[in-house]
Amino acid sequence: MNLHFDPETDLRLTRQMKAAPETVWRCWTDPELFAQWFAPKPYTVSKVNYDFEPGGRANLTMTSPDGKDIPLQGCVLLVEPARRLITTDALREGFRPAPDPFMTAEILFEPKNGGTLYTANVYHNSVEAKTRHEEMGFHEGWGIVAEQLDDLSAAL
Amino acid sequence: MNLHFDPETDLRLTRQMKAAPETVWRCWTDPELFAQWFAPKPYTVSKVNYDFEPGGRANLTMTSPDGKDIPLQGCVLLVEPARRLITTDALREGFRPAPDPFMTAEILFEPKNGGTLYTANVYHNSVEAKTRHEEMGFHEGWGIVAEQLDDLSAAL
């Protein structure tokens, strides 16, 4: 189904990428590739544990430049290979409710101009949550990692 | 995937029903039938608005004997016709995070003894949430509506 994007509560990042959707998708679903682009440098990804099916885990650990681990846990909701991926932190593995729901992310991989039009739609439940996400540096952070993803997928 | 049932945090109701899985499933997915069994009498269901696909709405309004409306909103996560249905209140329509996540419900319809072994697994994120659900009358309430569902589906 088409999700409803509400500019009041939701955030969007788009980027035209050089590689084809299948290659950009591979950078999402191959854990070794994923770890190379998902954290905005100098942060790194130290652990990746995804299970790409509805209800599967979407867990990873980021490590800050001073060595602090930041574990992130979520759940995979929808998998359309090389087309669309939806995950949320409102649920954990096995669709179990999470204590602190914040966002659902929908990633779209559309073939365009010989490459991929990459879109990340991020859904929140309030204007306040959206604003908080913007203040946490959504546009900069997601922009940096999209650039890293573009570079990595183009080099494969 | 098989969800992980944890007796510490989760609740389960099972009932052997007389009707076949396809008929019990119909009582879930036909809004007119659904309204006849889903609320423990003398509560009634005054509105049913489900969309049976991943990300679809799972909304309804119950009405108390003194006429007070209780709107409930959730999201459909997984649909396996006549086999399994998963919904959650941790998300709203379109997978949007909900403000007050409480539970994910997995309903299983298994053919058994010429009828249906009906199982409701209810997943919470803490022992506290499970206990609260028990104190709200989980076993009695879900037991009453399972009996209503059994009676209705057997009469179709």
CA dist., res. A23 & res. A31, Å (int): 14
CB B95 within 8 A of CB A55: no
Torsion of CA A21, A23, A27, A31, to 10 degrees: 120
* The pLDDT of residue B52: 98
Q: What is the pLDDT of residue B72?
A: 96
CA distance B100 to chain A (A): 8
- For B125, which residue in chain A has the nearest alpha carbon? A97
- What pLDDT is stored for residue A133 in this prediction? 97
**Which residue, among B71, B23, B27, has the nearest Cα to B46 in the 3D structure?**
B71
Encode pLDDT of A98-112 as tens digits: 998 999 999 999 999
pLDDT band at A148 (very low <50, low <70, confident <90, very high): very high
What per-residue confidence (pLDDT) applies to A139?
A: 96
Does the interface predicted TM-score (ipTM) exceed 0.85? yes
Q: Going by DSSP bridges, is the β-strand pair A104-112/A115-123 parallel, antiparallel, or unpaired? A: antiparallel
Residue A54 touches partner B, C-beta closer than 8 Å: yes
pLDDT at position B19, please?
Answer: 98
B91 interaction partners in chain A (CB closer than 8 Å): 88, 90-91, 104
pLDDT of residue A88: 98
Contact state of A1 with B126 under an 8 Å Cβ cutoff:
no
The pTM assigned to this predicted structure is 0.96
CA distance A103 to chain B (A): 6
Cβ neighbour number for residue A38 with a 10 Å cutoff: 19
The verdict on a CB contact (< 8 Å) between A125 and B92 is: yes
A154 sits in which H/E element? helix A138-155
Q: Is residue A9 within 8 Å of A135, Cβ to Cβ?
A: no
> Which residues of chain B fall below pLDDT 50?
none
pLDDT at B8: 98
pLDDT at site A108? 98
Peptide bond just before A101 cis, omega within 30 deg = no
Tell me what the pLDDT averaged over chain A comes to.
97
CB proximity A80 to B under 8 Å: no
Query: Are the Cβ atoms of A97 and B56 closer than 8 angstroms?
Result: no
DSSP for residue B115: E
